[in-house]
Amino acid sequence: MTDDLVQRDNPAWHIGSSVGGIGFAALFALLGFPLWLSIPVALVSLRLAYGALLLVPYRVTVNNEGTIEFRSVLRRSATNAWKIRSIKTVTWSLWRSEKSGPPMKVRFDGGRVILLGDRAQSFARTIRSFNPAVVVRY
Protein backbone atom coordinates (compact mmCIF):
# COMPACT_ATOMS: atom_id res chain seq x y z
CA MET A 1 0.00 0.00 0.00
CA THR A 2 1.29 3.44 -0.89
CA ASP A 3 0.12 6.55 0.91
CA ASP A 4 0.33 9.57 -1.36
CA LEU A 5 0.34 12.77 0.68
CA VAL A 6 -0.23 15.45 -1.93
CA GLN A 7 0.89 18.84 -0.67
CA ARG A 8 -0.03 20.73 -3.83
CA ASP A 9 -1.51 19.26 -6.97
CA ASN A 10 0.34 21.63 -9.25
CA PRO A 11 3.92 22.78 -8.60
CA ALA A 12 3.44 25.85 -10.81
CA TRP A 13 2.97 28.10 -7.77
CA HIS A 14 6.54 27.25 -6.73
CA ILE A 15 7.92 28.24 -10.10
CA GLY A 16 5.71 31.33 -10.36
CA SER A 17 6.68 32.66 -6.95
CA SER A 18 10.37 32.10 -7.66
CA VAL A 19 10.36 33.78 -11.06
CA GLY A 20 8.19 36.59 -9.72
CA GLY A 21 10.52 37.27 -6.80
CA ILE A 22 13.66 37.28 -8.92
CA GLY A 23 11.93 39.48 -11.49
CA PHE A 24 10.87 41.86 -8.74
CA ALA A 25 14.48 42.13 -7.54
CA ALA A 26 15.69 42.77 -11.10
CA LEU A 27 13.04 45.44 -11.52
CA PHE A 28 14.27 47.14 -8.37
CA ALA A 29 17.79 47.27 -9.81
CA LEU A 30 16.66 48.42 -13.27
CA LEU A 31 14.53 51.23 -11.91
CA GLY A 32 17.58 52.70 -10.25
CA PHE A 33 16.79 52.04 -6.63
CA PRO A 34 19.87 52.42 -4.43
CA LEU A 35 22.05 49.34 -4.16
CA TRP A 36 21.59 49.19 -0.40
CA LEU A 37 17.90 48.52 -1.11
CA SER A 38 18.20 46.40 -4.26
CA ILE A 39 20.69 43.88 -2.87
CA PRO A 40 18.60 42.85 0.17
CA VAL A 41 15.53 42.49 -2.05
CA ALA A 42 17.52 40.30 -4.43
CA LEU A 43 18.88 38.16 -1.57
CA VAL A 44 15.44 37.64 -0.05
CA SER A 45 14.01 36.76 -3.47
CA LEU A 46 16.78 34.23 -4.11
CA ARG A 47 16.24 32.67 -0.69
CA LEU A 48 12.51 32.33 -1.36
CA ALA A 49 13.24 30.83 -4.78
CA TYR A 50 15.64 28.32 -3.21
CA GLY A 51 13.01 27.30 -0.68
CA ALA A 52 10.17 27.09 -3.17
CA LEU A 53 12.10 25.11 -5.76
CA LEU A 54 14.16 22.79 -3.56
CA LEU A 55 12.88 22.64 0.03
CA VAL A 56 9.10 22.55 -0.30
CA PRO A 57 7.86 19.30 -1.87
CA TYR A 58 4.61 19.28 -3.77
CA ARG A 59 4.22 15.51 -3.37
CA VAL A 60 5.20 13.14 -0.57
CA THR A 61 4.83 9.38 -1.06
CA VAL A 62 5.11 6.86 1.79
CA ASN A 63 4.90 3.14 1.06
CA ASN A 64 4.23 0.32 3.51
CA GLU A 65 7.92 -0.61 3.84
CA GLY A 66 8.70 2.87 5.19
CA THR A 67 10.29 4.30 2.06
CA ILE A 68 9.50 7.99 1.65
CA GLU A 69 9.87 10.05 -1.50
CA PHE A 70 9.83 13.85 -1.39
CA ARG A 71 9.28 15.43 -4.80
CA SER A 72 9.92 19.14 -5.30
CA VAL A 73 10.22 21.08 -8.54
CA LEU A 74 13.98 20.65 -8.98
CA ARG A 75 14.77 17.79 -6.62
CA ARG A 76 13.54 14.34 -5.82
CA SER A 77 14.87 12.72 -2.66
CA ALA A 78 14.07 9.37 -1.12
CA THR A 79 14.78 8.09 2.36
CA ASN A 80 13.56 5.52 4.83
CA ALA A 81 11.39 6.26 7.85
CA TRP A 82 14.10 5.16 10.29
CA LYS A 83 16.50 7.73 8.78
CA ILE A 84 14.24 10.64 9.73
CA ARG A 85 15.74 12.41 12.73
CA SER A 86 13.12 15.03 13.58
CA ILE A 87 9.82 16.58 12.56
CA LYS A 88 9.33 20.02 14.08
CA THR A 89 6.83 22.80 13.64
CA VAL A 90 8.40 25.89 12.11
CA THR A 91 7.63 28.82 14.37
CA TRP A 92 8.47 31.53 11.86
CA SER A 93 8.11 31.02 8.14
CA LEU A 94 7.03 32.91 5.07
CA TRP A 95 4.93 29.88 4.13
CA ARG A 96 2.84 30.00 7.31
CA SER A 97 -0.91 30.03 6.75
CA GLU A 98 -3.71 30.32 9.27
CA LYS A 99 -6.01 28.04 7.25
CA SER A 100 -3.67 25.16 6.59
CA GLY A 101 -1.76 24.99 9.85
CA PRO A 102 1.91 25.55 10.57
CA PRO A 103 4.63 24.24 8.26
CA MET A 104 6.81 21.42 9.55
CA LYS A 105 10.53 20.92 8.98
CA VAL A 106 11.54 17.30 8.40
CA ARG A 107 15.23 16.52 8.91
CA PHE A 108 16.61 13.23 7.66
CA ASP A 109 19.98 11.74 6.79
CA GLY A 110 20.91 13.50 3.57
CA GLY A 111 18.68 16.56 3.73
CA ARG A 112 15.63 18.41 4.95
CA VAL A 113 12.28 19.50 3.59
CA ILE A 114 9.49 21.81 4.72
CA LEU A 115 6.00 20.36 4.58
CA LEU A 116 3.05 22.70 4.13
CA GLY A 117 -0.63 22.18 4.70
CA ASP A 118 -2.87 20.01 6.79
CA ARG A 119 -1.23 16.80 5.65
CA ALA A 120 2.00 17.57 7.54
CA GLN A 121 0.58 16.33 10.84
CA SER A 122 -0.79 13.23 9.14
CA PHE A 123 2.71 12.63 7.77
CA ALA A 124 4.17 12.97 11.27
CA ARG A 125 1.73 10.36 12.64
CA THR A 126 2.53 7.98 9.76
CA ILE A 127 6.29 8.31 10.30
CA ARG A 128 5.87 7.89 14.05
CA SER A 129 4.28 4.48 13.42
CA PHE A 130 7.36 3.39 11.42
CA ASN A 131 9.97 5.09 13.62
CA PRO A 132 8.94 5.59 17.27
CA ALA A 133 12.33 7.15 18.06
CA VAL A 134 11.79 10.16 15.80
CA VAL A 135 11.58 13.52 17.59
CA VAL A 136 8.19 15.13 16.82
CA ARG A 137 7.43 18.62 18.14
CA TYR A 138 4.17 20.37 17.34
Q: Tell me, what's the pLDDT at 52?
A: 80
Contacts of 114 (CB under 8 A, 6+ apart): 51, 55, 56, 90, 93, 95, 103, 104, 105, 106
pLDDT of residue 82: 92
Give every residue of the chain whose pLDDT is below 70, as ranges: 1-11, 14, 18, 92-100
Q: What is residue 5's predicted lDDT score, i.e. its pLDDT? A: 67
Q: Where are the domains of the chain?
A: 2-137
For the entire predicted model, the pTM comes to 0.78
Angle between helices 12-30 and 35-50 (to 10 degrees): 170
Query: Where does the chain have alpha helices with state H?
Result: 12-30, 35-50, 119-130
> Which pLDDT score is estimated for 84?
95
Per-residue pLDDT, 95: 57
What is the percent of the chain with per-residue pLDDT over 90, rounded to a whole number?
24
What pLDDT is attached to residue 125?
87
pLDDT at position 48: 77
Q: How crowded is residue 103: how many other Cβ atoms within 10 Å of its Cβ? A: 21
How big is the CA angle at 113 (ends 107 and 119), to the nearest 5 degrees?
Answer: 105
DSSP string, 94-108: TT-BTTTB--EEEEE
Domain 2-137 part of CATH 2.30.29: yes
Residue 121 is predicted with a pLDDT of: 82
Q: What is the pLDDT of residues 113-126, one digit of tens each?
A: 988 877 788 888 88
